[in-house]
């Protein structure tokens, strides 16, 4: 081969690697943005926008979603973290750090000459085996009185004891059956407010107040009507109003609406929750009758209130039903009370499904958001532990899985073994980062811990970040939900494979997205 041909071949290789290197650098940048927050000694990150507004947080998904990221590979990683948050509610930092390590190790192998397809093949095998190990090592939580639940909440809640106690209490109030319900998220019961006292109660909060000051501020043994619509007369088109028949119909609708509002008063209902606006005539009639009306309630809160009180959500056209039929749509609550200091409404003791609210207090506006994020992480971790059991934390279980993955290497022929090495390295990365954040030498401590796990046959050994000594995480109370680890590893494997498979980046032309034969965007 001539020098010219060699140069041409080398140039083609460089071009093929260019996309991979560019994507890998973007992934590394994202991972480095959150890795400093990992572990008990992890530090906070300050995010500043162009207006000078500041968010200080230790929460991985908050950092990822708020940071400016324009590179498509970076956005892919952020989307994986969002998916992890939506599915489990915690573990986004671990998923991001492992994904960064997997991609970096994969690129290193490709640069050495290992075909990308072989690297991906090995990654799949390694991730599959690691997931098997994590599932095998998971220990079930006995019940909601198991002390390990508080430890789960403490670890996920960054050692905030008050928050850990609150979410554990909420979990016990709600019950195990509800916590195992796939459609229920304990994190949704969290509300943080400036100036509030920490408390847990059976009921829901609506971040709204009554329509006017003349309306009552509380109601006992309250019937509740939930309207998923505007409490206003039905509208007519402008063209219709310009005719005599249309105007007559307009007056008919106005009178019909007034009769429906009077019917609400006759029903004895004490609280009306409305999704949208309330007409002045309805406000006046209901206010005079001493009915509490809350308008423009967020749909999520409206549904939560309906579920807790047992109310059947109704549209404004449903108000035409006769009185006896209308009453079948009412919910019930022991008490509805306005908290004027915190500017919200509490619905307590609903006759529908039991629902707890965790109110987390914060001294200042600046820390409200972070306290809420911490509580949501703790709540999500408790629910994940109930569903899937627990494993030792502190990076111990990942290291144990790495040791099992390394045993695969001897049984794999060909270059796929190099992909297995990538998985092993990625599994070691969380512990190495925890050690580094604690101020110790990762290489030294990682070697000590691996040797100790092998010698003692304990998968729960990792580092005591206060003393720098090898310690049993179970004894220290450092435990994590198994599902957090499982989903983090799956997410890391998926994003690593997706990034490694890209060898060309082409700018898409402006205009409509292409569609297939079925009219679907492709």
Instruction: Provide the CB-side half-sphere exposure for 451 (13 A, CA).
Output: 7
**Cα 254 from chain centre:** 45
Helix (H) or strand (E) holding 206: strand 199-206
Helix (H) or strand (E) holding 334: strand 331-339
Phi, psi of 442 (to 5 degrees): -60, -40
Q: How confident is the model at residue 83 (pLDDT cuts 50, 70, 90)?
A: confident
Is residue 417 helix, strand or coil?
Answer: helix
CA angle in degrees (0–180, nearest 5) for 220-269-219:
20
- Write the pLDDT tens digit of every residue in 305-354: 999 999 999 998 888 898 989 999 999 999 999 988 888 999 999 998 88
pTM: 0.76
In the beta sheet, which residues pair with residue 199?
359
Averaged over 427-445, what is the pLDDT?
93
Alpha carbon distance 513, 515 (integer Å): 7
pLDDT, greater one: 110 or 366: 110
Structural domains of the chain in order of their starting residue, each with its CATH number: 14-139+391-500 (1.10.560.10), 145-195+363-388 (3.30.260.10), 202-356 (3.50.7.10)
Answer yes or no: is pLDDT of 6 > 80. no
Q: Which residue has the tokens 């967020």?
A: 298
**pLDDT above 90: percentage of residues in the chain:** 45
- Write the pLDDT tens digit of every residue in 88-131: 877 788 888 998 999 999 999 998 889 999 999 999 999 999 99
Residue 296's nearest CA partner among 277, 316, 271 is 277
DSSP 36-62: TT-STTPPPEEEE-TT--EEEE--HHH
Lookup: tokens for 37: 């927050």
Q: Kindly tell me the burial class for residue 21, based on how many C-beta atoms sit within 10 Å of its own C-beta (0-12, 13-18, 19 or more).
A: middle
């Amino acid at each position: 081969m001539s020098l010219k041909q060699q140069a041409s071949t080398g140039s083609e290789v460089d071009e093929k690697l260019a996309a991979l290197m560019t994507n890998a650098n973007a992934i590394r940048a994202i991972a480095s943005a959150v890795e400093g927050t990992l572990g008990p000694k992890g530090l906070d990150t300050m995010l500043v926008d162009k207006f000078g507004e500041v968010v200080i947080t230790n929460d991985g998904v908050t950092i990822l979603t708020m940071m400016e990221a324009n590179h498509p590979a970076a956005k892919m990683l952020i989307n994986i973290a969002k998916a992890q948050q939506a599915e489990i509610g915690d573990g986004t930092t671990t998923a991001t750090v492992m994904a960064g390590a997997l991609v970096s190790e994969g690129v290193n192998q490709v640069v050495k000459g290992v075909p990308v397809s072989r690297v991906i093949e090995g990654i799949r095998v390694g991730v599959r085996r690691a997931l098997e190990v994590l599932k095998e090592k998971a220990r079930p939580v006995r019940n909601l009185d198991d002390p390990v639940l508080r430890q789960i909440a403490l670890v996920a809640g960054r050692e905030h004891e008050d928050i850990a106690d609150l979410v554990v209490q909420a979990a016990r109030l709600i019950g195990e059956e509800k916590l195992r319900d796939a459609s229920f998220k304990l994190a949704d019961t969290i509300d943080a407010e400036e100036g509030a006292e920490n408390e847990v109660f059976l009921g829901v909060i609506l971040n709204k107040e009554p329509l006017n000051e003349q309306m009552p501020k509380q109601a006992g043994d309250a019937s509740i009507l939930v309207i998923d619509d505007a409490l206003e007369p039905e509208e007519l088109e402008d063209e219709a109003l310009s005719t005599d028949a249309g105007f007559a119909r307009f007056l008919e609708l106005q009178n019909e609406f007034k009769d429906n509002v009077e019917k609400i008063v006759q029903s004895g209902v004490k609280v009306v929750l409305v999704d949208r606006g309330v007409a002045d005539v309805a406000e006046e009639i209901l206010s005079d009758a001493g009915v509490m009306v809350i308008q423009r309630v967020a749909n999520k809160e409206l549904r939560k209130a309906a579920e807790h009180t047992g109310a059947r959500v109704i549209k404004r056209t449903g108000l035409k039903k006769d009185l006896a039929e209308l009453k079948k749509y009412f919910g019930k609550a022991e008490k509805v009370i306005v908290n004027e200091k915190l500017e919200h409404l509490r619905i307590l003791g609903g006759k529908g499904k039991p629902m707890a609210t965790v109110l987390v207090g914060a001294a200042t506006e600046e820390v409200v958001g972070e306290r809420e994020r911490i509580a949501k992480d703790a709540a999500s971790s408790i629910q994940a532990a109930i569903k899937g059991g627990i494993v030792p934390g502190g990076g111990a279980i990942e290291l144990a899985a790495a040791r099992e993955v390394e045993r695969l290497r001897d049984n794999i022929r060909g270059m796929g073994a190099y992909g297995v090495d990538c998985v092993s390295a990625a599994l070691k990365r969380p512990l190495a980062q925890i050690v580094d954040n604690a101020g110790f030498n990762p290489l030294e401590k990682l070697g000590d811990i691996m040797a100790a796990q092998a010698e003692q046959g304990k998968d729960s050994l990792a580092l005591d970040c206060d003393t720098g000594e090898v310690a049993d995480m179970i004894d220290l109370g450092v435990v994590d939900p198994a599902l957090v680890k499982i989903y983090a590893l799956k997410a890391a494997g998926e994003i690593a494979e997706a990034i490694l498979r890209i060898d060309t980046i082409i700018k898409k032309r402006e205009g409509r997205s292409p569609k297939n034969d079925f009219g679907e965007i492709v």
